[in-house]
Every structure is written in C-alpha cells, then in structure tokens.
Amino acid sequence: MSAHDWRRCRQVARTGTVADALREIGSLQAGRGSFVVVPAGPDAPATVADPLLAAEGIAVLRRPAGRHPSGAPAPASVAREVTLATAWLRLGLSERLLDDCLGYLHGRATGGEPLIGQQLVRGELAEIRMDHLEVAAVLDAAPPSDAQLLDVHRQITGADRALLRLLGASGFVADGPGRVAYVSELLADTYAGGHRDV
C-alpha cells in the first residue's frame, strides 16, 4: 500500500472504529509475534477473551508462531509493512483521543475557569500535538527506518498516556476513551515488537 492508503487508515481510525481501520489495512497476519488482532466476526473467534476488545469490535487470535497465512515464514519486509501500517492506524487513534480530551477539558472547570485555559494543561496539549506532528513527519518520510518505526510507536504510546492523565478518572473507565488507548497499545505490542502479555 502507498502512504496515501495509510493516511486513509489514519483518518478512519480517527473518525471511525478500530475494526474499520483494521479493515483498511487488510490482513495483519504477518505480525512479529504469535498473536494477531483482527476485526471480530464469525470467522474470527477470539483466542483471548477480553471485553474491552470485544467492545471495540476486534478479536485477538493465536496463529502458528512465525508463520504467514501461506504457511511459509513471514518475510521481514511484510512484517515491517505491517508495523508501518499499524503506526498510521495508531496515530489516528491517538488523534481521536486528543479530540476526546479537548472536548472533556472544555467542559470541565476548576476555580470558575475551564481546564483547557490552564497554562500547564495547554502546555501538555501543545507537546502532545507536537508529538503527533513529529510522528506524521517520520511516517511520511520515504521510508522510515526500523528504529524510527519503533520510536514512533513509543512516541504514540507516550502521547496517549499523557492524554489519559489529562482525562482524569474518565480516561481509565472501561467505556471511556481509555479503551481506545488500551487497544492502541495492544496493537503496538502485537505488531511493533512489544512485550505485553495479551
């Protein structure tokens, strides 16, 4: 796929569902680990039961270790392409989380002033937006190195965690915006070589 296609995936992740964004990417069977994350459905019975993932319309499946759907080992170039696609998807999810955070901060006040007006909050939001711009610039480079791709995934995770802190308790409830951050981090762990237990 081209950078244009990945940008489309980013937009779908920002405005649609995680499952729809995964469908934009296509088959993610070529990840680096023994699990894959796919849109849920009758052809994808979840290996790992997780209500947060089910609520997002996705499932985690176990696949034969190191095998591509064809049965041959997945080529490194295919796994790298999946890592790139996942970075674009995660950037869109992080931008959605920023949108949710901005709405929350506009609606909350302390001392009669909206939280969005506080200097430290605005500074944190500016840093997060800069992270998003840096990630987009790296992903638009032709082509980013493996090290840059891993850094991009770490940067997105850091931005998401900062946004969750700004959302307070609402960022950590199962039906709140934190669920998207959880799914995003799971995608990074699955396709960018993370080490979280599913």
Q: Is there a domain that residue 51 lies in?
A: yes
Helix (H, G, I), strand (E, B) or coil at 59: strand
Q: Does the structure show a pLDDT above 80 at 2? A: no
DSSP state, 38?
E
CB proximity list for 146: less than 8 A, separation 6 or greater: 80, 83
- pLDDT tens-digit map of 60-87: 888 755 555 555 555 677 778 889 999 9
CB-based contact 23:31 (threshold 8 Å): no
Read off the CATH number of the domain in which 56 is found: 1.20.140.10
- Count Cβ neighbours within 10 Å for each residue of 103-115 and write b for 16 or more, e otherwise: ebbeeeeeeeeeb
Q: Is there a domain that residue 86 lies in?
A: yes
Q: Is there a domain that residue 198 lies in?
A: no
Q: Is there a domain that residue 196 lies in?
A: no
Q: Is there a domain that residue 89 lies in?
A: yes
The beta strands (E) that lie in the chain are given as: 35-39, 58-62, 109-110, 113-114
pLDDT given at position 11: 96
Number of domains making up the chain: 1
Counting beta carbons within 10 angstroms of the beta carbon of residue 50, is it exposed (0 to 12), middle (13 to 18) or buried (19 or more)? middle
Domain boundaries, position 12:
3-191
- pLDDT tens-digit map of 95-111: 999 999 999 999 999 98
Helix (H, G, I), strand (E, B) or coil at 44: strand
Read off φ and ψ for residue 60, nearest 5 degrees: -105, 125
pLDDT given at position 197: 40
CA–CA gap between residue 9 and residue 42 (Å, rounded): 23
Q: Which pTM value belongs to this model? A: 0.89
* Helices vs. strands in the chain: H and E counts, helices first: 7, 4
